[in-house]
C-alpha cells in the first residue's frame, strides 16, 4: 500500500503481555492504554475499525480482536480515573508510564471482544509501535487455507 487510504485499513494491532490477554478477554468492554512517540492519535485509525491483539512473547500470533468504539488522548490522571474500565492495575499503569506522566495516553475504548479459537500465525513480529492491518491482509488470514 503505497499511499494509505483509510478505507483500505481494517484496523490496528498492538501487543499485550500474556497475563493481560487473559484479563482482556474476560471483560465485555475495555479501555486499552497506549503511549506513542508522537503526541497524536493514529492517523488511519477510527471508531468502527477492528483492534487486534498480538500476544507478546508468543510465536508471532494474533489471538483476538474487538471493535474500536472510540479513541481519545488522555492525561495520566484522566486515564487513572477510568482505570476500572481497563484491564490493568494501578501499579501496572505506573510501570507502563515509567515516569512519563507528561505524555498523553491514547485510550482505545474496545467492545465486542472475541478470542480466536485458533490464533492467527504471522510471518513477522508486531513491534510495540503497532501495525495497521489492511483489508487484504485480514482477508488472507481467514482464507489462506481454502
Q: Which three cell numbers stand for residue 128?
A: 510495540
Q: Scanning the structure block, which residue is given the C-alpha cell 483500505?
A: 8
Instruction: Note whether residue 135 is domain-resident.
Output: yes
Assign 1 a pLDDT band (cuts: 50, 70, 90). Answer: very low
Q: Yes or no: say if 105 and 75 are a contact pair by the CB < 8 Å rule.
A: yes
What pLDDT does residue 67 have? 97
Assign 6 a pLDDT band (cuts: 50, 70, 90). Answer: confident
Range of the domain at 39: 10-143
Q: Which H/E stretch holds residue 96? A: helix 90-97
Instruction: Note whether residue 25 is domain-resident.
Output: yes
Once rounded to an integer, what is the mean pLDDT over residues 29-54?
87
Instruction: Note whether residue 3 is domain-resident.
Output: no
Once rounded to an integer, what is the mean pLDDT over residues 74-83?
92
Residues 6+ apart with CB under 8 A from 31: 79, 82, 85, 86, 107, 108, 109, 110
The 8-class DSSP code of residue 39 comes to: S
Once rounded to an integer, what is the mean pLDDT over residues 57-83?
92
* Whether pLDDT at 123 is above 60: yes
Number of domains making up the chain? 1
Instruction: Note whether residue 2 is domain-resident.
Output: no
CATH of the domain at 42: 2.30.130.30
What pLDDT does residue 40 have? 73
- In angstroms, rounded to a whole number, what is the distance separating the alpha carbons of residues 12 and 7? 13
What pLDDT does residue 30 have? 95
Q: Which one, of 87, 128, 126, 135, lies nearest residue 108 by Cα?
A: 87
- Predicted TM-score (pTM) of the model is 0.89
Amino acid at each position: 500500500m503505497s499511499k494509505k487510504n483509510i478505507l483500505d485499513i481494517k484496523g490496528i494491532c498492538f501487543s499485550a503481555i500474556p497475563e493481560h490477554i487473559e484479563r482482556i478477554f474476560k471483560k465485555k468492554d475495555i479501555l486499552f492504554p497506549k503511549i506513542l512517540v508522537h503526541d497524536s492519535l493514529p492517523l488511519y485509525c477510527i471508531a468502527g475499525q477492528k483492534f487486534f491483539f498480538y500476544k507478546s512473547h508468543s510465536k508471532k500470533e494474533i489471538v483476538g480482536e474487538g471493535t474500536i468504539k472510540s479513541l481519545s488522548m488522555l492525561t495520566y490522571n484522566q486515564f487513572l480515573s477510568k482505570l476500572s474500565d481497563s484491564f490493568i492495575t494501578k501499579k501496572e499503569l505506573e510501570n507502563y508510564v515509567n515516569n512519563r506522566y507528561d505524555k498523553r495516553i491514547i485510550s482505545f475504548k474496545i467492545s465486542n471482544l472475541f478470542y480466536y479459537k485458533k490464533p492467527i500465525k504471522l510471518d513477522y513480529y508486531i513491534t510495540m509501535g503497532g501495525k495497521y492491518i489492511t483489508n487484504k491482509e485480514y482477508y488472507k488470514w481467514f482464507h489462506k487455507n481454502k
